[in-house]
């Protein structure tokens, strides 16, 4: 595989990952900001505090999933003999 082909594969993997995860990540960040409404997290109580914690957990899970996805995409695109499935949770 030439360097040009590797760069193209990396660019395609990055684009596929961003297309898949950026909208979800932006929504999770927006949800957190709306819940905080300019306040520090320590000012939240009750349902707001629980909702903020849940949104932060969703964001963390999305970021971890994104990282696994891009690794699998890079493996699949750069190593044709492997499909990357061993890097993604079943």
Asked if residue 38 is part of any domain, the answer here is yes
Asked if residue 11 is part of any domain, the answer here is yes
Asked if residue 63 is part of any domain, the answer here is yes
Query: In this predicted structure, what is the pLDDT of residue 90?
Result: 45
What range defines the domain where residue 68 resides?
3-77
- Residues of the chain with confidence (pLDDT) below 70: 80, 82-90
Asked if residue 88 is part of any domain, the answer here is no
Asked if residue 12 is part of any domain, the answer here is yes
Query: In this predicted structure, what is the pLDDT of residue 86?
Result: 58
Asked if residue 85 is part of any domain, the answer here is no
Distances (CA, A) of 33 to 16, 28, 53, 55, 68: 26, 9, 12, 10, 26
47 phi-psi bin (left φ>0, alpha ψ -120 to 50, beta other): alpha
- Domains of the chain: total: 1
Asked if residue 87 is part of any domain, the answer here is no
């Amino acid at each position: 595989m030439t360097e040009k082909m590797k760069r193209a594969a990396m660019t395609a993997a990055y684009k596929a990952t961003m297309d898949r995860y950026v909208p979800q990540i932006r929504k999770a960040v927006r949800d957190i900001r709306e819940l905080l409404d300019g306040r520090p997290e320590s000012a939240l109580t009750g349902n707001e505090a629980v909702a903020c914690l849940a949104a932060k957990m969703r964001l963390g899970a999305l970021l971890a999933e994104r990282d696994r996805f891009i690794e699998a995409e890079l493996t699949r695109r750069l190593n044709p003999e492997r499909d990357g499935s061993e890097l993604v949770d079943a």
